[in-house]
């Protein structure tokens, strides 16, 4: 229960990786603020599931691209639990296409949610953490932001930008007792990856030294470490969770 009494906000936590991260932090004792876009039914089901397990949880629905929605998320967290100790910027989308076929809207949507959203959430939460003189900010990047990926110019750019944001945030907030790190998952099993052609999945698998795909829990475990006191002397780092894909 390393996080007992702490409060964690996890964006995009209605399902998938965000849900797995929120569950891990709840298991470690944290109060959880679930966040997902308005209209999401997943987040309500996730909240009920967490409550049934005895975890302290509140739900905030809103778009991380919208400053008012982000401020409301922070306000809800403070009203419910009195403080914010951990922010996990997980909300993200993909709009894959080859560069010459990618629309301007596909570019803007991915950069706005994946990068601008993280900026807005970090800015809002940092104000609280600075007053507390403590906090952990964890950004969910991707190996695509490190090595690039054909058909993902927008996604790769957003995740590379998130890594830059991580390092700048770490430098700016270190003197206030706040750390900021990123994790860069590789090929993680999800609903999105399940629909890929078997031949493509086999090609991915052959490029991974550990010869298996990652799970949401693999990522959540590292996020749990970065959110805990065990990582107090770690900041500005990007931890790859990819089975050795990028070395």
Domains, the chain, ordered by start: 7-239 (3.40.50.720)
Residue 155 is among the residues annotated as catalytic for this protein: yes
CA dihedral 198, 200, 202, 206 (to 10 degrees): -170
Q: Can you give the pLDDT of all 247 residues of the chain as single tens digits? A: 899 999 999 999 999 999 999 999 999 999 999 999 977 789 999 999 999 999 999 999 999 999 999 999 999 999 999 999 999 999 999 999 999 999 999 999 999 999 999 999 999 999 999 999 999 999 999 999 999 999 999 999 999 999 999 999 999 999 999 999 999 999 998 876 777 788 888 988 999 999 999 999 999 999 999 999 999 999 999 999 999 999 9
Q: Is the pTM of this model over 0.85?
A: yes
pLDDT at 204: 87
Using CA atoms, how far residue 176 sits from 126, 170, 172, in Å, is 10, 10, 9
pLDDT at 193: 74
pLDDT at 192: 66
Separation CA 111–CA 84 (nearest Å): 26
CA dihedral 21, 171, 122, 139 (to 10 degrees): -30
pLDDT at 129: 98
CB 125 within 8 A of CB 74: yes
Q: Which of 77, 1, 27 lies closest to 229 in space, CA to CA?
A: 1
């Amino acid at each position: 229960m390393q996080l007992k009494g702490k409060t964690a906000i996890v964006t995009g936590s209605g399902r998938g990786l965000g849900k797995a991260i929120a569950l891990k932090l709840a298991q470690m004792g944290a109060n959880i603020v679930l966040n997902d876009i308005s209209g999401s039914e997943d987040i309500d089901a996730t909240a009920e599931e967490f409550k049934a397990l005895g975890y302290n949880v509140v739900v905030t629905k809103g778009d991380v691209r919208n400053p008012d929605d982000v401020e409301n998320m922070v306000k809800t967290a403070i009203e419910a639990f009195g403080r914010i100790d951990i922010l996990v910027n997980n909300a993200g989308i993909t709009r894959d296409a080859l560069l010459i076929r990618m629309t301007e809207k596909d570019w803007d949507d991915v950069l706005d949610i994946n990068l601008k959203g993280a900026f807005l959430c970090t800015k809002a939460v940092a104000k609280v953490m600075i007053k507390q003189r403590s906090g952990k900010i964890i950004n969910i990047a991707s190996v695509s932001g490190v090595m690039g990926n054909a058909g993902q110019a927008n996604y790769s750019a957003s995740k590379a930008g998130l890594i830059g944001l991580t390092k700048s945030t770490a430098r700016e907030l270190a003197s206030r007792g706040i750390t900021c790190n990123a994790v860069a998952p590789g090929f993680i099993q999800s609903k999105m990856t399940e629909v890929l052609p078997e031949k493509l999945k086999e090609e991915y698998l052959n490029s991974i030294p550990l010869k298996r795909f990652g799970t949401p829990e693999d990522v959540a475990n590292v996020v749990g470490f970065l959110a805990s006191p065990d990582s107090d002397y770690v900041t500005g780092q990007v931890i790859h969770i990819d089975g050795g894909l990028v070395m």
